[in-house]
Amino acid sequence: MEAWLRTAINQGLIMITVNKPMHIFDTAIALKHGDEGQYKGQTSPNYANMVGPFGGIIGATLLNAIIQHPLRLGDPLSLTVHFSAPIADGAFSVEAKAVRTNRSTQHWYVELIQGEQVAAFATVVTALRRDTWNQLDAIFPQVTPAADIDPMPSIPSAIWTSCYEMKFISGFPGRPSSASNSSESLLWMRDQPARPLDFLSLSALCDAFFPRIFVRRPKPVPIGTVAMTTYFHADAVQLAEQGDAPVLGIARARNFSKGYFDQTAEIWSTSGNLLATTHQIVYFKE
């Protein structure tokens, strides 16, 4: 650097900023603020699914409306998203309101509106958390490290899959195991390109597991998540500790019946902390 430039910077006459391009995830969930709790957003082609956007990006967008709300108290504890109608590619508006604010918890309701109809909505609890007695009952699976597994190629018809690195240990979709009658999958996963983990990206990762029916049956059928709930077991500091290293995901179903199945998953940090548990109810045809 030339001497005059260094002097000018040191004297505060010039400031140099590096314009780091936004991560595709942050671009996809970005919201433009209007009046308090009112936002505008739009779907991202990067996270397109076969029909409409990837559900996880919609959930993260709704959660983002709460995260950015000036009245927010604490960090996300639970997120329930209802996918109430197909979402068209393009613009939408979001309206968030605090239904009830307590001393250490806050309950939220947020809607995604397209064409004057509610295309998706969510309820959220945010909470101030502090250290207490703690006990992990779930078991962290001992598996092959992510570094030793090749990532799955992305699926051209589901563009959003190119936004995630998925390294399967077991339960690859479309290959039902003859040995076990199970819908379980175990995989390492992270944003692609890598991005430090936070509540927003974790909420989307919770919906990045393939529908269990694709693991359980060789024949693909039309499906759609109807509603999903995520519980966050970690606070912001624990998520920051994970950085952009892969998280371990385990997903399974309990029952497929009369057009619907449930899907439940755990997401673990590399070092064995349970970060989130998540549940969804999924429609399937035939």
Least spacing, CB of residue 205 vs a second copy, in Å: 17
CA atoms within 13 A on the CB side of 73: 16
**Binding-site size, a second copy (CB under 8 A):** 62
Give the span between the Cα atoms of 10 and 13, in whole angstroms: 8
CA atoms within 13 A on the CB side of 167: 18
Least spacing, CB of residue 131 vs a second copy, in Å: 6
Site for a second copy in 78-97 (CB under 8 A): 78, 80, 82, 84-85
Give the span between the Cα atoms of 280 and 59, in whole angstroms: 12
The per-residue DSSP string of 83-110 comes to --S---SSEEEEEEEEEEE-SSEEEEEE
Q: What is the number of residues in the chain?
A: 286
Give the span between the Cα atoms of 78 and 73, in whole angstroms: 13
- Looking at the Cβ atoms of 111 and 191, the one nearer to a second copy is 111
* 264 binds a second copy per the rule CB under 8 A: yes
Judge contact between 214 and 185, C-beta under 8 A.
no
CA atoms within 13 A on the CB side of 10: 7
Q: How far is CA 65 from CA 6, 8, 95, in A?
A: 41, 40, 8
Choose the binding region for a second copy from 5-13, 31-39, 197-205, 222-230 (rule: CB under 8 A): 222-230
Choose the binding region for a second copy from 12-20, 30-38, 62-70, 254-262 (rule: CB under 8 A): 254-262
Choose the binding region for a second copy from 30-38, 42-50, 189-197, 246-254 (rule: CB under 8 A): 246-254
Give the span between the Cα atoms of 114 and 7, in whole angstroms: 53
* 72 binds a second copy per the rule CB under 8 A: no
Q: Give the angle 79-81-86 at the CA atoms, nearest 5°.
A: 160
- Looking at the Cβ atoms of 2 and 131, the one nearer to a second copy is 131
Choose the binding region for a second copy from 2-10, 23-31, 148-156, 233-241 (rule: CB under 8 A): 233-241
Least spacing, CB of residue 104 vs a second copy, in Å: 8
Binding mask 102-141 for a second copy (x = CB under 8 A): x--x-x-x-x-----xxx-x-x-x-x-xxxxxxxxxx---
* 227 binds a second copy per the rule CB under 8 A: yes
Which residue reads 């197909």 in tokens? 86
Among positions 42, 170, 177, 182, the unique one binding a second copy when judged by CB under 8 A: 182
Choose the binding region for a second copy from 35-43, 49-57, 198-206, 221-229 (rule: CB under 8 A): 221-229
Non-local (6+) Cβ contacts of 132 within 8 A are: none
Choose the binding region for a second copy from 19-27, 64-72, 153-161, 230-238 (rule: CB under 8 A): 230-238
Q: How far is CA 83 from CA 67, 224, 245, in A?
A: 20, 9, 30
Q: Using CB under 8 A as the criterion, which residues of the chain lie in contact with a second copy when the complex forms?
A: 77-78, 80, 82, 84-85, 99-100, 102, 105, 107, 109, 111, 117-119, 121, 123, 125, 127, 129-138, 181-183, 216-217, 226-227, 229, 231, 233-235, 252-260, 262, 264, 266, 274, 277, 279, 281, 283-286
